[in-house]
Copies of this chain bind each other. A is one copy, B any other.
């Protein structure tokens, strides 16, 4: 159930914040799972008297009772969370949802992240590197809008980077890098999280090549535990709730990635 956690860190990382919460009692999250977070104090009263509801955030890292989240200030909720001081308290519900199914032994994982959507790939890489039979090291491809956001890449190891403005790494889209990787190894499995257009491009690219892709979707949420039916995305078998049927979903279940099903752009 909902836990009151203490902020033990909240550092700037380029355009993002890394929020660290002490969560000794919390269960260990699976990569791709998320939590609903809300500041205990001053949650509300921001722009348009918001936020009112908690906000969903992927667990970006977890070790010995410390949970790390990567935040981008895009509105009143994230604004408040990015302003949290060490010692302040946060309501946390989670870990929630279905995480990433790990690759089978010998299968190469290609991690594709866009913007703040790289968060769940951080904990996924942590896990893959910890995993004994992860003989094949994962490939990490990250795309960002600009240099300030590209700072987020420092959370992962050996990442190839693309930026829209070419300020850092490849000038262009992360999916350009993905195309190259897939050409080299169609037997890989793709793990992706990011803006809807990036996820849709990834889905399409993997579909034509018959490469399995596991997409971590996003959606506006009120509850995070299946209560409100507000977070649905259209799939081949009708609407699914991102919070309990996802957030990670096999790409083949989607005709296309809904415009509202991605990370903040």
Contact = CB atoms under 8 A, between A and B. Distances in A.
Given A42-B45, A49-B49, 10 more contacts: A42-B42, A42-B46, A43-B45, A44-B44, A44-B45, A44-B49, A45-B45, A45-B46, A45-B49, A49-B52
A49 B51 CA distance: 11
Contacts of A49: 44-45, 49, 52
Contacts of A45: 42-46, 49
A190 to B, nearest CB: 41
Interface string A16-45: 000000000000000000000000001111
Contacts of A52: 49
A49 B52 CA distance: 9
Contacts of A42: 42, 45-46
A44 B45 CA distance: 4
A49 to B, nearest CB: 6
Interface string A52-80: 10000000000000000000000000000
Nearest to A39: B45
